[in-house]
Structure 1
Amino acid sequence: MFKIYYTKTSFNLNAKSWLDNHTFAASIFLSPAILLLTVFVFFPIIYLVYLSFTTGSFTNSGIYWVGFKNYWRLLLNHDFWEVMGNTLYFTSAVVIPSLVIPLGLAILLNQTFQFQGILRTAYFLPSIISMVAAGLGFRWLFQNQGPVNMILESIGIEPISWLGDTFWGMPILIILCIWKQVGFNMVVFLAGLQTIPISYYEAAELDGANDWQQFWYITLSSLQPTFVFTLITTVIFTLRSFEQVYILTGGGPLNSTNLLVYYIYQEAFGKFDFGYAAAAATVLLGITMVIVYLQLRNLQ
């Protein structure tokens, strides 16, 4: 009887020691999330990279290994480099205003005044609207017989084919994306501003610092982690832009508004060249990872 009791006690003590181990407990709680990430994130990424080295056909012909042929095709394809140029221009034009405008709005709305809550809600609303709905709204506004051209005609200006012009198509996409992203970034900056102790500004004012010096040395310095977060999310949001191109321009006219994600979609589901599309998607993944790494490194 004593031996059985001793064994049970030892088992209970061992189980308790395992549960008291923080690493083991963390592994238990994180295992569902790790499993989901493995199934829906890590495995698709690994399969994407593998697919980029194959023909990528999902038909009866099967998948065949072609090595770096798809990447070589990317390097020699003029359309790919044109799309990369469009994506760089689009990303640069969207990210900078999507950080500067929300920061200014957040500083203004951080003050106490009448209708403050209404204005915060109004600025945030675009970020919760579906991109498809927003794209259809912009398409109606900028169509040839749309409200924008009607206003231009009323003041004696010739109507512009906004979505059918190689010059104006991209700016419309940029305006749509900035309008969509400003509200979310504003709320993030507003939350960051409210974490800055008011005593910092009081001390700076006593030391004779003007408004610009307080903004530069206190506000921007304290908002560095928030700024990096908004920069990363905005870059990712911009690089994965697809719906606005699909709804507004379809990549045209003459490939002038074609972005990398839409180009991948065309190659994969328009031409069924999955291996080549996977190579382009792998390039996009690599670019995104490098940008995020550099931004996180600057945060340290």
Structure 2
Amino acid sequence: MKFRLSFDRNTFKNEAIAAWLFLSPALFFLSLFIFWPIAYLFYLSLTTGSFTVSGTEFIGLKNYWRLLISPDFWQVLGNSIYFTVATVIPSIVIPLALAVLLDREIPLRGLLRTAYFIPSITSLVAVGLGWRWLFQNDGPVNRLLASAGLTGVEWLSSTTWAMPVLILLTVWKQLGFNLVVFLAGLQAIPVQRYEAAELDGANGWQKFWYVTLPGLQPTLIFVAVTTAIFTLRSFEQVYVITGGGPLNSTNVLVYYIYEQAFALFDFGYAAAAATVLLAIALILVYFQVTSWGQND
């Protein structure tokens, strides 16, 4: 008995050593490219200065205080929340409806699936240039409105309409990825649940509400969180289409960080704003992980 216990302990110890040996290359690169940059970002947020001969100076939490009292930062944060919420909702509803439709046997189903996924693999910079052309004052959208007898809109120079253009582009870009995720989630729902619902006399809407949606709950959480993170890190469409204008109305957190760091060379302040963005992303990931744990 003692020999068996000693053997089990030695086996466990050897397996643990082997596991750490196999994990060590991944942990090394994870520390080098993720943990160390995050730690250095937090350190940089506690300094002022730039990467010049004069170097940086430690100032503690003053950069975070500057964020708290900055009207521009709060406007950018409000823009980011508006941009994210207004993007996430249609990025869930539209792909979900399309996934339910394309999960059935309909003509050209494979072609439609491919067509909807194409925006996800196109260059956001190239697409942004195309959308800027579409929505310029004398662009095709305004010409279409004029042909219908409607007054054109100054889309990109309006504090009201510039953000909806960015939201529409982001929803269009995210649609294909979310569609594929929802289709995979629908395939994981057992057919027996739908058969049982039909035996109970459920119609199409009742099957969707009481079978499809509960079966897609983990998928819905995943899509919501990934879309929110994708939207929070949006930069290209803002840079290409509006440049944060007009009057800072389309400036979002990532573009604001870029301006502070590479236009004003205020690296410590930009690092503090980036740390806030990182904290928001970690909260979203924590929400996703805990939600999955509750489902399990």
TM-score (norm 1): 0.91
Q: Secondary structure at the match of 1:258?
A: coil
After superposition, what is the alpha-carbon deviation per residue over 1:209-259, rounded to whole angstroms, capped at 9, x for unaligned?
Answer: 232332222211111221121112101100000000000000000000000
Q: Runs of at least 4 residues of structure 1 off by over 6 A? A: 17-20
State the alpha-carbon separation in 2 of the partners of residues 129 and 56 from structure 1: 38
1:247-296 Cα distance to aligned partner (Å, 9 max, x none): 00000000000001100000000000000000000011111111221232
More deviation in 263-272 or 216-225?
A: 216-225
Q: Equivalents in 1 of 2:15, 2:115: separation in Å?
A: 45
Flag the structure with larger Rg: 1
Counterpart mapping for 1:141-156 below 5 A: 141-156=134-149
Q: Which amino acid in the other structure matches residue 30 of structure 1? A: L
Q: How many angstroms does 1:117 deviate by?
A: 0.3
* 8 A contact 1:18–1:24 mirrored in 2: no
Cα separation, partners in 2 of 1:144 and 1:267, compared to 1, 3 Å: same
Task: Between 244-253 and 60-69, report the one with greater CA deviation.
Answer: 60-69
- SS of aligned partner of 2:58: coil
The residue that corresponds to 1:281 in the other structure is 274
User: Which among 257, 260, 270 is matched to residue 264 of structure 1?
Assistant: 257
Is residue 187 of structure 2 the alignment partner of residue 198 of structure 1?
A: no
Number of equivalent positions: 285
SS of the counterpart of 2:48? coil
Compute the RMSD of aligned alpha carbons.
Answer: 1.6
Identical-pair percentage: 64
Pick one of 217, 229, 236 that aligns with 2:210: 217
Partner secondary structure for residue 64 of structure 1? strand
Residues 48 and 278 in structure 1, CA contact (< 8 A), matched pair in contact too? yes
| Aligned residue in 1 for 2:54 | 61
* Amino acid in the other structure paired with 1:108: L
Q: Which runs of 5+ in 1 are unaligned?
A: 1-13
What is the rounded CA distance, in whole Å, between the counterparts of 1:213 and 1:271 in structure 2?
A: 56
2:169 aligns with 176
Q: CA deviation at 1:91?
A: 0.4
Q: Can you list the C-alpha shifts for 1:99-130, whole angstroms capped at 9, x where unaligned?
A: 11111100000001210000000111001111
Q: Secondary structure at the match of 1:163?
A: helix
- Which segment is superposed worse, 224-233 or 250-259? 224-233
Residue 103 of structure 2 is aligned to residue 110 of structure 1:
yes
Partner of 2:3: none
Distance 1:22 1:233 in 2: 35
Residues 288-299 of structure 1 mapped to structure 2, 5 A cutoff: 288-299=281-292
Pairing of 1:244-255 with structure 2 (within 5 A)? 244-255=237-248
Which one of the candidate residues 225, 238, 259 is aligned to 1:232? 225
